[in-house]
Amino acid sequence: MNKKIEKHQFQSEIKQLLHLMIHSLYSNKEIFLRELISNASDAIDKLRFNLLLSKNEIKKKEKEYIRIILNKSKNTITISDNGIGMNKIEIIENLGTIARSGTKKFLKNLSPDQIKNNQLIGKFGVGFYSAFMVAKEITVKTRHMQENNPDNSIFWRSNGSEEYLINTIYKEEHGTEVEILLKDNEKEFLEEWKIRNIINKYSDHITIPIEIQEYNTKNKTFSWKQINKAKALWTFQKSQITKKEYKDFYYDITKDTNGPLAWTHNHIEGTQPYINLLYIPKKSSWNIWEQDNKNNGIKLYIKKTYIMDDASCFLPNYLRFIKGILDAENLPLNISREILQENSITKKIKLSLTKRVLNLLHILSNKKEKKYQIFWKEFGTIFKEGIAEDTTNREKIANLLRFTSMKNNSHESILSLNEYIKNMHENQEKIYFLIAENYESAKTSPHLEIFQKNNIDVLLLSNRIDEWMMNYLTEFKNKKFQSINKIDNEFEKKFKKNNKNYNENPEIKNFLENIQNTLKEKVEKVTISDRLIHSPAALIANKNTLSPHMAKLFTAAGQKVPPVKYILEINIDHDLIKKIMNIQDKHNFKNWINLLFDQSLLSEQGSLDNPNHFIKNMNKLLINNENIK
Ligand code: ADP
Ligand code: MG
């Protein structure tokens, strides 16, 4: 047996890296355990793969394990596995050089300033070397599965400075054992509860059992106790998972007792393999509307190892209510959020996850159950943001929108655009919608009168983001959208309430002029309405005028907006208008016209700049009501 100890120098980049680790002030040192467990789990995967390849030999299946021993008297923590192990060439290559080009490149670009910044440690694949954050010295004993002689196992030891030692030793089993001699101030890693916590946090879903050694004081014997669940639910095929298991898992990752509404679970193969298990919750989380809420319920795993919560870059913002996990194969462990954002794999996965969620919603929307309605009620407002945010999927999202309409006698939004189109009037070319402050005022808006008469349905929009959304939604299935708060000449021609032509009548012409002179710059124009039936007057916006709602939004955002100027439409067939036309007294006429204008404004924008002024004026007119006869 060759007992000659060899001294090897670390590659210079590794020296730099080790220096960084040893002097690290990085607060999250516990990640070293995640790294070592992930290596052990990889080694077992590799062994499994190798056994699969060598099918000729019949191998008895051994129990796979990752084992942890805490030794308080020696100050050591040992992580061992019965995976593939390493031979001498491999250990020199793997633990003495940086083979991976990504890390190499990263180290090359590292400036002294960045080295001082501890946070960087969490940002790239330092893997095995991260153990030097807590270790005085690390000893590795390993035997490759193809090495049949236990005496030819490899011993590796280093204190993380310039060099490491290599020797041969006896090792009973194939696999690797990493023994960490802890720094004096890192002794908390000798506590079992601490180790359990770390493993629950990062490695619960490693499929291989992670066992910790326990000492039974009665029998004076050692035994192994499993501390991880060792079941990565998402890696199983759908057919192997029960509904209850899906629901329990949802609870595990969200702690949301309301349960999930639906889920989509997919194993994707190809060049960028990944698995996703995404849930639509029944209830939204309390902070979903917070401005700086970066909470996105996606947990990122890389090859079954937990990487981070709130991996928000995998779904667009308008799907931020989705919870679940993504397990990607080809991303480097220890990847940072910033790097993740820019990664091309991330972008590809994001596109396909978005499609999956939209498909799931599509399926729900076609089912008889009420699930889609529950979804819409809970998340519809957020989902609508997608019309603006996601141009690629705009048509799909539009398909999933739900509205209430004039013909629907409830504020509940259950009408889809497809249904609206199906029920369109034969002469109707556009999809009509009305924007109002709330459902009640939409429902009773004077703008609807002519539509009621012609039996043409109108979508009623009163959600705070509706008008903003409609700026982006201009067409659906070749049908244009038209706001009925705005002028629409085509419509007016086609659906005119009668064929009378008042414009030639000098008396009426004069009346309109008097109104215009009274209201002055408050209105852009005064016209005879072709569409008001029950209301005396209404304000209508020009095609490109900023609506009062948008104006309010802009003002709230601190932007200056020009005052909204309306066209005042007068219903010449209305009794009140007929009476006002007959008023001779100029002062009295002015009061009535102001009242007419204010009530139209109130109906249109749901509030007045000076309601008291309006009330005073009205009271005056009520007292003197014998003035009109
Ligand atoms: P990474 O895991 O990203 O490759 P690490 O620094 O964690 O980087 O590990 C470097 C290499 O050392 C691994 O790729 C693997 O080949 C080898 N290695 C580390 N731990 C083990 C182990 N427990 N069993 C077998 N090989 C190991
Ligand atoms: Mg590793």
**In the chain, domain spans:** 6-226, 233-372, 402-495, 508-627
- Could you tell me the distance, in angstroms and rounded to a whole number, from the CA of residue 279 to the centre of ligand 2? 30
Residue closest via CA to ligand 1's atom 21 equals: 39
Residues β-bridged to residue 166: 6, 156
- C-alpha 490/C-alpha 264 separation (Å) is 46
Ligand 1 contact via 70 beta carbon (within 6 Å): no
User: Is the separation of the CB atoms in 561 and 551 below 8 Å?
Assistant: yes
Given this model, what pLDDT does residue 335 score?
74
| CATH topology classification for 402-495 | Rossmann fold (3.40.50)
Are 233-372 and 402-495 in the same CATH fold? no
Q: What is the pLDDT of residue 60?
A: 55
Cα–Cα distance, 396 to 380 (Å, whole number)? 14
Query: H-type helices in 454-570, by residue range?
Result: 466-472, 489-495, 506-519, 548-556
Give CA–CA dist 233/47, Å, rounded.
Answer: 22
Contact 321, 294 (CB under 8 A): no
Q: Give nearest CA residue, ligand 1 atom 27.
A: 39
Cβ of residue 94 lying under 6 Å from some atom of ligand 1: yes
Whether ligand 1 lies within 6 angstroms of the CB of 125 is answered as: yes
Helix (H) or strand (E) holding 356: helix 344-365
User: What class has domain 508-627?
Assistant: mainly alpha
- CB atoms within 5 A of ion ligand 2 belong to 39, 127
CA of 511 to the centre of ligand 2 (A): 85
Q: What CATH number is given for 6-226 in this structure?
A: 3.30.565.10
Judged by its nearest atom, the ligand closest to the C-alpha of residue 208 is 1
Closest ligand 1 atom to 175 CA: 24
Q: Which atom of ligand 1 is nearest to the CA of 333?
A: 3
DSSP code at position 317: G
Bridge partners for 540 per DSSP: 567
Which residues of the chain are modeled with pLDDT < 70?
Answer: 1-3, 52-61, 99-126, 286-296, 333-334, 548-549, 625-629
Who contacts 436 (Cβ-Cβ below 8 Å, separation ≥6)?
442, 445, 460, 461, 462, 606
pTM over 0.85: no
Q: Assess if CATH 3.30.230.80 describes domain 233-372.
A: yes
Whole-number pLDDT of residue 293:
53
- Taking the C-alpha atoms of residue 444 and residue 436, their distance in angstroms, rounded to an integer, is 10
- Least distant ligand from the CA of 99: 1
Cα–chain center distance at 498 = 52
Ligand 1 site, residue 179, Cβ cutoff 6 A = no
